[in-house]
Amino acid sequence: MQTLAILVRVVFETFNWLIIARILLSWFPHDPNHPVMRFIYEITEPVLAPFRRIMPRTSMPIDFSPVIAILVVQLVERLLISFILRLG
């Protein structure tokens, strides 16, 4: 079970870094059709889209949905790992 917990940790950590990469990429002009950019957007959008719908629109051009998504993803990761470790 320890190996499964480590695998889950790596997957979630990678996903968090992809969200952070998406945040950083939004600050610079980039080609959204580039294969790497498309991969990042396709992987992170299913998680970010629900948070964008929930978050109220503000007059500031800052999108806080990735921050909320990272917090929720980390919570799910911790719950899942603790569940896996309790099984073993």
For residue range 33-76, list pLDDT tens digits in order: 999 999 999 999 999 999 999 887 777 778 889 999 999 999 99
User: Alpha-carbon distance 8 to 18, whole Å?
Assistant: 15
User: Alpha-carbon distance 73 to 86, whole Å?
Assistant: 20
For residue range 2-44, list pLDDT tens digits in order: 999 999 999 999 999 999 999 999 899 999 999 999 999 999 9
In 1-88, alpha helices (H): 2-25, 35-54, 65-87
Rounded to the nearest 10 degrees, the angle between the axes of helix 35-54 and helix 2-25 is 90
Please, which residues have CB within 8 angstroms of residue 26's CB and are 6 or more apart in sequence? 63
pLDDT exceeds cutoff 80 at 86: yes
**pTM (2 d.p.):** 0.88
